[in-house]
Chain A
Amino acid sequence: MRIVAVTSCPTGIAHTYMAAEALEEAARAAGDTIEVETQGAAGMTKLAPETIAAADVVVLAADVEVRERERFGGKPIVEVAVSTAINSAAAVLEEARSKLASSGSAEPAPRSATPPVTPVAAAGFGTRLRQWLMTGVSYMIPFVAAGGILIAVSFIIAGPQVAMAVNGGVFHGVHYAGASSITAIYHTAGIGGVLFEIGGIAFSMLVPILAGFIAYGMADRQGLVPGVIGGLIAVDVHAGFLGGIIAGLLAGATVRLILKVPVPRVISGMMPIVVVPLISATVVGVLMLLVIGNPVSFVMTEITNWLNGLSGANAIGLGALLGLMMAFDMGGPVNKVAYTFAVAGLASGGIGGQKVMAAVMAAGMVPPLALALATVVRRSLFSDAERKAGEAAWLLGASFITEGAIPFAAADPLRVIPSIMAGSAVTGALSMAFSASSPAPHGGIWVVGLLGHWPLWILAIAAGTLVGCACVIALKSLRRSTPTPVPVVSLLEVANA
C-alpha cells in the first residue's frame, strides 16, 4: 500500500512530528511505503504532486485544518486526531487498508463489511470557531494597520479638513468641492489627500479579507472565492464587519457541504477550479443579497428613525446611547448611523450639534484605546497577533479610527464588544455632561485645538478607556478560570475502547 500523510497540530512543534515518526515506523513494520508532510513550525516540505498521484490512500492526522487539502481530491482519505496517530499508528494504517479495499472494488462493499472509519472531531466546536475567526483576523490586521496609519498621517499632514478636501463637503464654514476624479486628488487635496485615499481603499478591503479568510480557515483555498464575494456584498448591503463574519462562516460551510457530495472521477478534477467556486459563490451571494441584506437594511432604517425621534431627550442619555452605537460595530452601519447623525447635526449649525459631534468623536476613539491599554496591562490574555494590533491601536484610537478595535472584536466578539460599548457609553455621556463641543467632524486628538472644553473632553476619553479596559480584562479573565473542557477526542476514544 502506498500512503501519503499530512500531520499537523495547534502549536506545530511536537505532535506533528511525533505522529509523522509513528506513522513512518508503523508503515515500515507493515511493509507499506509512506511519505509524510509535516505541516509544523520547522518549515514544510510539500508532497510532490506525482507522489500524491501515485498514492493509494491518504492519511490526515490533524487537529487543525489541513492546508491545501483539495490536492487529495478523489483519493480515499482516513482522518484521525493527531494523538490517535501517535498512540495507535498501526491501527490507523489498518483503517487505511480497509478504506482502500472498500473504495477500490467496482461494487461498493456493503457498509457492514468494513469497519467504520470513525470521523474524529479534532477539537470542540468553540475552539474551531475561534480558530476560523482568528485566521480571518490575522490576514485582516495588516490592512487595518496600513490603512489606519495612512489616514492618521493624512490628518497630521493636511489637517482635519482632508476628508472634505477629498470627498467634498462643508468644514468650518468652508465649502470643499472634493476631487472630481481619482487622478485629480493630488491637485485638489495635496499629498495628504492622496494618503487619505490610499488608506480609505485599504479600509474598503477589511470586510472582504476578513470574510474571505474566515472561509479559507474553514474550507481552505476553495473557501476564498465565496468568502471574498460574500464580504463585498456585506459591505454593499451595509452589513459591516458583523455581516462579513456571517458571510465568511456561510461561505466556509457551503464549500464544506459541496465537498461532501460524492462526484464521479471525471468531474472531480474540475471541482476546485470551476464547480465549487461557481456553486458556492452563487449560494453565498444569493443568501447575502436576498436573505441577510434586507433584515440588515430594515434594522438600519428603524434605528435611524428612532434616533431622530430621540434627539430631544436628555443629553447625557443621548451621549451614552451614541457611545454604545459607535462601539457596537466599529465603523459598521450602526456606528455610521450615529456618526451621520452627529455630522448632520453639525451641518445644521448651532452649539447643540457641536456637542453631539464631540461626544461621538470621543466615544469612537475609546474602543481602540481601551484595547491597546488592555494588551499592555494584561499581556497574557492576548495572542501575539493581538498584542501587535494593540501597538497600532494607540495611534488609530487617537486619530478617531474606531476600526482599530475590529481585530480584537472579530476574534472574541462576545467579550470585546460589550466591554468597549460600556467604555464608549461612559465617554459619550461624560462628554455631553461636560458640554464639550467640536466643530470638526473627524481628526481625533489632532483637532483638539478646535474643541470647546477640550481638557474635560480628554478626561471623558480617559475615563471611558479605563472602563472599557477593565471590562475586557474582567470578561477575558473569566474565561481563563473556567475548567478545561474534556476534549472530544478522548471521549470518542473511550467510547471506542
Chain B
Amino acid sequence: MPELIDESMVVLDLQAQDKDSAVHVLAERLALAGRVTDMEQFLADVRAREQVMATGLEGGIGIPHARSSAVTSPSLAFGRSRSRVDFGAGDGPADLIFLIAAPADGGAEHMTILASLARRLVHGSFLESLRSLASPTEVAELINREVGG
C-alpha cells in the first residue's frame, strides 16, 4: 500500500474561489498520482457527502472526503489557501484543506491510516506546522511521519 500522501499531492498555493473548485484542483492531483481512477465518480461522491453536512470545522480547516469506488488506496491531497475557501464552518472559511479519499471496499486495516490522520487533525501543533512548512516535500514527510507513528 503506498504512503498516504506524496509531494505531488500537496498544493501550497491553492487558487480556488469556492469549495467545488478547491476540491476539483486537489482531486486532479489524486487522479494524476493514480489514486483516483474516475474523476467524475469521485467528485460526485465527495459532493454527495458535502450535501449531507458541510465539512468545514472551526480553526480554519475543511475536510471534504468520500468513500468511493473510484479510489484505489487511502489517500490525502492537501491544499493551503491564502485567500481561504468557505467549507461552511461556524467561524469562517478554511485555509487548510484536506481532501481525504477512501476506497469503497477498504477493509478495517486500510482505514486505520485515515483514522490516525483524522486524530492528528485536532492537534493545534500539527496544524501550525502545516501552516508554516515551506515545501511540499516537507509537508508530505511530516504528514506521513505523524500518521505512521
Binding site for B on A (CB under 8 A): 10-18, 20-22, 25, 38, 40-43, 63, 83, 86-88, 123, 127, 379-381, 384, 480, 484, 487, 489-490, 493-494, 497
Contacts and interface: CB of A to CB of B under 8 A. Distances in A.
B100 A14 contact: yes
B134 interface: no
Contact of B40 (A43, A380, A487): A380
A41 B68 CA distance: 13
A10 B111 contact: no
Nearest to B90: A493
B104 interface: yes
A487 B55 CA distance: 11
Question: Nearest 10 CB-CB pairs, A to B?
Answer: A43-B108, A380-B44, A17-B118, A42-B111, A21-B119, A42-B115, A41-B111, A87-B58, A17-B115, A22-B122
Chain B interface extent, by class: 35 or more
Contact of B67 (A11, A25, A88): A11
A484 B114 contact: no
Contact of B65 (A11, A381, A484): A11
B120 to A, nearest CB: 8
Contact of A497 (B40, B90, B104, B118): B90
A412 to B, nearest CB: 13
B50 A13 contact: no
Dominant SS at the A interface?
Answer: helix
Interface of B: 40-41, 44-45, 47, 49-55, 57-59, 63, 65-67, 69, 88, 90, 100, 102, 104, 106, 108, 111-112, 114-116, 118-123
Contacts of B116: 17
A85 B87 CA distance: 18
Given A10-B49, A16-B115, 5 more contacts: A15-B63, A22-B122, A379-B41, A384-B104, A484-B51
A189 to B, nearest CB: 40
A13 B111 contact: yes
Chain A CB count within 10 A is highest, among B55, B65, B115, for B115
Contact of A13 (B51, B52, B54, B102): B102
A87 B47 CA distance: 23
A490 B118 contact: no
> Looking at A11, A379, A484, A489, which has the most chain B CB atoms within 10 Å of its CB?
A11
A379 B51 CA distance: 18
14 contacts: A11-B49, A13-B67, A13-B115, A15-B55, A18-B63, A18-B122, A21-B120, A22-B122, A42-B111, A86-B122, A87-B57, A127-B52, A384-B69, A487-B88
A42 B44 CA distance: 23
A13 B90 contact: no
Contacts of B50: 484
Nearest to A494: B90
A414 B47 CA distance: 22
Contact of B121 (A18, A123, A127, A490): A18
Contacts of B102: 11, 13, 41
A456 B45 CA distance: 40
A487 B51 CA distance: 9
Contacts of A41: 67, 102, 106, 108, 111, 114-115
A25 B55 CA distance: 21
